[in-house]
Amino acid sequence: MSKIVVAAAQIRSTPDLDDNLRQALDAITLAAQRGARIVVLPEATSTSFAINPAKGAQPLDGPFASAIRQAAAAAGVTVIVGLFEPAADGRVHNTLLVTGPGVEASYRKVHLFDAFDTVESDTVAAGAGFVVVDIEGVKVGLATCYDVRFAAQFTALGRMGAEVIALPASWADGPGKVEQWQLLTRARAADAQAYLVAAGQAHQESPKPLGVGHSAVIDPVGRVVSRLGPGPDVLVQEIELDRVAQTRAQIPILSWEEENDG
């Protein structure tokens, strides 16, 4: 049976890039020591949404990304981490960097959080296109936070062959938001018929909390395999990749859509 160990690192980002980098490096080291091969950190790991993301934006060869790249190489793991990179129009891209031995890729968030009295598109430029990357022979799809409300992205990633989907998030707290996070992550795993590694920002006591925690690993039928609480922590979980093919054979929704598309 094909298996891999994944980790969701639930940190609490601040406006301080140096502090955030320290938290990220500590989480990568801990996850690697516990056997993880893929380490997923939250959206906005480099700098929190408490400030304009342009203030912390750096290119993918900048100091923050370079330090993550070096840590991944030293630990021998692949890291998926949320950061901000400058966009051509003066805004930023909300980007996931994927880096590790023999792996280098990125995904720019497609669906921007223009909801709940927040307009992410004021400061963030949307990306275009979905991404699946090969990590140690495992097909890993990428999505970010608000993307989870769009089922079609996850179905598309499943049809692109994703066996695991990494979902970094900074899921702002509010009435019913924990329940929405739990419902949507389970539903999207079932839509894609893939494992979902949801890594959220830890909850913080503030007037506008930028995370709820509750990071989780969810299986291809939407069952929660393991989940964290609200505070900072690192979840490490072995997953059985054969479950993906088994689920898709037993409940052939992705192949039905391919055969009946259009």
Instruction: Note if 3 is an active site residue.
Output: no
Phi, psi of 210 (to 5 degrees): -100, 10
- Catalytic-labelled residue, pool 85, 120, 139, 145: 145
> Whose structure tokens read 């056997």?
35
CA distance 240 to 60: 32
Residue 113 and residue 154: Cα distance in Å, rounded?
A: 17
Between CA 27 and CA 40 the distance in angstroms is 10
Does residue 101 contact residue 76 with C-beta atoms inside 8 Å? Answer: yes
43, 85, 120, 163: the active-site residue: 43
In whole angstroms, what is the distance from residue 9 CA to residue 195 CA? Answer: 16
Q: What is the DSSP letter of 149?
A: G
- Active site includes 177? no
Choose the catalytic residue: 85, 109, 120, 163: 109
Is 145 one of the annotated active-site residues of the chain?
A: yes
- Chain CA centroid to CA 177, Å: 18
Strand partners, 168: 199
C-alpha closest to that of 45 among 63, 73, 76, 19: 19
Which of the residues are catalytic? 43, 109, 145
